[in-house]
Amino acid sequence: MSLRILLVRHGLSSFNLEHRIQGRDDLSSLTEEGVKQALATGEALRDLPITAAYSSPLRRAHDTATALLAAQGGGLEPCLDDDLLEVDLAPWSGLLSSEVQERFPEAYRTWKQHPQQLVLQRADGSSYAPIPELMDQARRFVDRLLAEHNPSSPTPQTVLVVGHNAILRCTLLTLLGLEASGFRRLRVDNASLSVLNLSADGEGDLSVQIESLNGTTHLHPEVCGGRLPSKGSGPRLLLVRHGETDWNRQGRFQGQIDIPLNENGRAQAAAAGDFLRKVSFQRAYTSSMARPRQTAEGILSHHPGVPLASVRDLVEIGHGEWEGCLESEISEGWGELLAAWKRAPETVQMPNGETIHDVWDRSLRGWNTIAASLHSDETALVVAHDAVNKTILCALLGLGPADIWAVKQGNGGVTVIDYPHGPDQAPVVVCLNQTAHLGGVLDRTAAGAL
């Protein structure tokens, strides 16, 4: 079985509202809106069995955890853990962001562009690097968490972790095996919910799957489907996986066989359309296959006049001789190759089909061409397939072809990517695999095999 980790950032604090630097000083508190956010998050998780809860001891996080757990109804109290303290920005603590930018322009620029390189001075005159220190702190927390809640345990476990923006980013990077250089590739909003599924094989090798990142739809239940995180400067792309087909339901490898949406898939497309009804799209792109085109058309039914273009590079992986087969049928003829595909997909050549490297190269070529064509104020819709979306997202997160199973893409799931500094600079994964519009904030079943 496996371990599910729920990562929640504290609700809106007084310093968040004032745009002040908080760091690990305990000078700010939850606002009234922050308390509402904590309660809404707990309500979204109501009756979900939670094994244990951990929180930063800082008031804004502790109060969020306490309110969340009360609304969740499981009777848990949070265990306070110093390794969930926020990043140490003591020289800037309490200052407005604008004041830091004015008084420390070079350091502030480093913080925004290359935070892992930032060096500050403590009160005693010694120097320290806040983000590398925070990565070490995150590793300690993760190591102790996994020792306490073994992912190879026969009993499914769900653990809640309530912390802060920077420590949660470092925790995510640590779980994904990424370096501190990926710090700015992730976004963690107030009271957002990120879900990771962990499992371990008989030899103790850990596998991590991102079920979702930075979900905020539960904070706006009055809005149909909720809301996406706010857009800043730079172009935005929404990446959606097509709705369900009969072959998805049957567990057949469909690849480049052009299977259309089934009734449920059309309903998923309609639900995604309702969810994205208020998003202003300027352009839309789809794989040249029927199932993503039908999904895109369902979404764009609320956006008349938005042009929809087909992109050949976004077609699904070619499974070759596996296409149309059930996994049990593939196992009979290509048992070892199928096992390798699950264990090490980057090593597999599909029989008369493609490799994941083939898909990686063409899907990123298509994606980057789209991103480069957008103006800074534009938002584009891109609808594609499971393997295509996974290769794109792995690349954007800093993962590689070996890591495609680390990213979950549900039928009709929505992912948001921003390019705040332009399409030639590093993107930000704003949120990943949002599926609340399909029913529920997260999959209520135990985390499945990766």
Q: For 275-326, what is each residue's pLDDT tens digit?
A: 999 999 999 999 999 999 999 999 999 999 999 999 999 999 999 999 999 9
Considering the chain, what percentage of its residues have pLDDT values greater than 70? 96
Q: Which two tokens stand for residue 371?
A: 């991103």
Cα separation values, 57 from 66, 79, 159, 163, 236, Å: 11, 9, 17, 9, 36
DSSP per-residue codes, 12-60: PBHHHHHTB--TT-----B-HHHHHHHHHHHHHTTT----EEEE-SSHH
Could you read off the pLDDT of 245-280 as tens digits, one per residue?
A: 999 999 999 999 999 999 999 999 999 999 999 999
Contacts of 194 (CB under 8 A, 6+ apart): 6, 7, 8, 168, 172, 188, 210, 212, 213, 214, 215
Active site (catalytic) residues: 242, 316
C-alpha span between 39 and 23 (Å, rounded)? 24
Residue 171 has pLDDT above 70, yes or no: yes
Q: What is the pLDDT of residues 329-349, one digit of tens each?
A: 999 999 999 999 999 999 999
Average pLDDT, the chain: 94
Identity of residue 184 = R
The Cα–Cα gap between 242 and 286 comes to 9
**Residue 193 CB contacts under 8 Å (≥ 6 apart), including other chains:** 6, 7, 8, 41, 44, 45, 212, 214, 215, 216, 218, 441, 442
Q: Rounded CA gap, 405 and 207, in Å?
A: 9
CA–CA distance, 99 with 86 (Å, rounded to integer)? 20
Average pLDDT over residues 31-54: 96
380 pLDDT exceeds 50? Answer: yes
Mean pLDDT, to the nearest integer, of 141-167? 95
Helices 32-44 and 59-72: angle between axes, nearest 10 degrees = 40
Centroid of chain to Cα 59: 26
* Bridge partner residues of 96 (DSSP): 20
Instruction: State which H helix or E strand residue 196 sits in.
Output: strand 193-200
